Amino acid sequence: MNEIQSLLVNQHEFTANQIIDALEKVGKRGDIIIIKNDGLRSSDNYTVVISSGSNKFDGIRYDDVNLSNAVKKALKDYAEVI
């Protein structure tokens, strides 16, 4: 199990510290993670994007009304491609 998969074990909701931990772990692997809050949208105002720093995989993107859910979905896909 890699360190990204370990973040997902038994996680229903991520805390702010766990989200920051995820940002750091993705960055240490040389990849890019962006979290955006688009307050103008009426729904799915959080966007999480993970991109490969070396073109190893296609970009991953999730929009959700809940930041924790968007991060969890993106990390799950990310764990499958690294």
Confidence of residue 1 (pLDDT cuts 50, 70, 90): low
Q: How far is the C-alpha of 48 from the C-alpha of 81, rounded, in Å?
A: 16
Q: What is the mean pLDDT of the chain?
A: 92
What is the domain extent for residue 64? 3-81
Distances in whole angstroms, Cα of residue 34 to Cα of each of 1, 9, 22, 71: 24, 22, 11, 10
Q: Which two tokens stand for residue 20?
A: 């920051």
**What was the pLDDT predicted at 38?**
92
CA 67/CA 37 separation, integer angstroms: 9
Give 42's pLDDT tier (boundaries 50, 70, 90).
confident
How many domains does the chain divide into? Answer: 1
pTM value surpassing 0.85: yes
- CA nearest neighbour of 49 among 37, 29, 33, 63: 33
**DSSP state letter for 29:** T
pLDDT over 70 for what percent of the chain? 99
